[in-house]
């Protein structure tokens, strides 16, 4: 049995997968918001899940931020109480078994690469375009963590080939013009406000575009153009077999038809073809991918 845990800013979610990849137990509790509280809650969750399934499982944990392969400490998590903490080692001690941890976007991509929308590809790049932006790269069913734990950290690169209307913005990470400020759902809203002077939620902009509002349509087109440019940059580095999109903006169906032509127009040589598809597992990708940090067992 594989147990996967997704550590979110406000909640902790755990699920157990059987050998067929079916979720056989699932629990969700609030994130206590402190480091010790979080570790205790995670240990409790594993105990409750194992009581439900009547078996001991492997434990994988998806976290915000990344874990340095050099010192095992978490960095750049928006749940800031995790930063500088040896989460993997503390959970390994508390649970009495080896625990694997990975970035939450990496878990999403792993889940999709194993048995989701990316299952047909050897090289799968995936991005979360939600409140924030994250990315991950999976090759042959394994996350590319990288020498420093930075593999797939796409969200804090700058948007390439910047247009005039996309005035760059300070990002919480200390840089300017990051994708997180322009390709996230909140970035979609921010650039619409820059273009029109009107503050609307992302879903409201999308609804207005569908109703024929020209300014909203232009903001959606501009968003898709940014996303296509940002994906072209990845194509020129790893040229994935499949690109998977997750998060709120991935549910906007209008983005998929125009994306390939935008990517093609920005890749070296102008000839490119690969599927860009929405994630299969939606909100379950986090726990499913965390569980898949360990191999399937009977």
210-239: which residues touch Zn ion (CB under 5 A)?
none
Examine residue 170 and tell whether it contacts Zn ion (CB under 5 A): no
Cβ at position 178, least distance to Zn ion in Å:
3
Residue closer to Zn ion by CB (options 183, 242) is 183
Residue closer to Zn ion by CB (options 145, 180) is 180
Q: Which of 156, 192, 226, 229 binds Zn ion (CB under 5 A)?
A: 156
11-30: which residues touch Zn ion (CB under 5 A)?
none
Over the range 256-269, which residues count as b (16 or more CB within 10 Å of their CB) and which as e? eeebbebbbebbee
3-class SS letters over the chain:
CEEEEEECCCEEEEEEECCCCCEEEEEEEECCCCHHHHHHHHHHHHHHHHHHHCCCCEEEEEECCEECCCCCCEECCCCHHHCCCCHHHHHHHHHCCCEEEEEHHHHHHHHHHHHCCCCCCCEEEEEEECCCEEEEEEECCEECCCCCCCCCCCCCCECCCCCCCCCCCECCCCCECEHHHHCCHHHHHHHHHHHHCCCCCHHHHHHHHHCCCHHHHHHHHHHHHHHHHHHHHHHHHHCCCEEEEECHHHHCHHHCCCHHHHHHHHCCCCCCCCCEEECCCHHHHHHHHHHCCCCCCC
Stretch that binds Zn ion, among 7-15, 37-45, 82-90, 148-156 (CB under 5 A): 148-156
254-283: which residues touch Zn ion (CB under 5 A)?
none
Query: What does the per-residue mask of binding to Zn ion show for 63-92, with x meaning CB under 5 A?
Result: ------------------------------
Cβ at position 186, least distance to Zn ion in Å:
13
Cβ at position 104, least distance to Zn ion in Å:
17
Residue closer to Zn ion by CB (options 61, 171) is 171
Examine residue 171 and tell whether it contacts Zn ion (CB under 5 A): yes
Cβ at position 66, least distance to Zn ion in Å:
14
Cβ at position 155, least distance to Zn ion in Å:
7
Residue closer to Zn ion by CB (options 124, 191) is 191
Query: What does the per-residue mask of binding to Zn ion show for 172-191, with x meaning CB under 5 A?
Result: -x-x--x-x-----------
Residues that bind Zn ion (CB under 5 A): 156, 171, 173, 175, 178, 180
């Amino acid at each position: 049995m594989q147990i996967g845990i997704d550590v979110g800013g406000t909640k902790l979610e755990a699920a157990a997968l059987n050998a067929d990849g079916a979720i056989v137990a699932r629990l969700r509790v609030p994130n206590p918001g402190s480091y010790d509280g979080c570790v205790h809650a995670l240990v409790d969750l594993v105990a409750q899940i194992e009581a439900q399934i009547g078996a001991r499982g492997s434990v994988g944990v998806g976290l915000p931020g990344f874990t340095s392969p050099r010192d095992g400490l978490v960095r750049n998590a928006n749940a800031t109480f995790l930063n500088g903490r040896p989460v993997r080692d503390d959970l390994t001690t508390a649970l009495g078994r080896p625990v694997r941890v990975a970035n939450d976007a990496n878990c999403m991509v792993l889940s999709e690469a194993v048995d989701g929308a990316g299952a047909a590809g050897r090289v799968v790049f995936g991005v979360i375009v939600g409140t924030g932006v994250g990315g991950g790269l999976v090759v042959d069913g394994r996350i590319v963590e990288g020498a420093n734990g930075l593999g797939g950290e796409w969200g804090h690169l700058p948007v390439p080939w910047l247009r005039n209307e996309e005035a760059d913005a300070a990002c919480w990470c200390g840089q300017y013009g990051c994708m997180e400020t322009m390709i996230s759902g909140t970035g979609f809203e921010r650039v619409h406000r820059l273009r029109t002077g009107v503050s609307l939620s992302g879903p409201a902009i999308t609804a207005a575009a569908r109703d024929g509002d020209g300014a909203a349509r232009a903001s959606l087109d501009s968003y898709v153009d940014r996303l296509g440019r940002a994906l072209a940059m990845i194509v020129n580095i790893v040229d994935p077999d499949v690109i998977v999109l997750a998060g709120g903006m991935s549910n906007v169906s209008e983005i998929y038809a125009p994306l390939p032509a935008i990517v093609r127009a920005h890749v070296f040589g102008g000839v490119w073809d690969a599927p860009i598809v929405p994630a299969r597992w939606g909100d379950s990708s986090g726990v499913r991918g965390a569980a898949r940090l360990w191999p399937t067992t009977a």
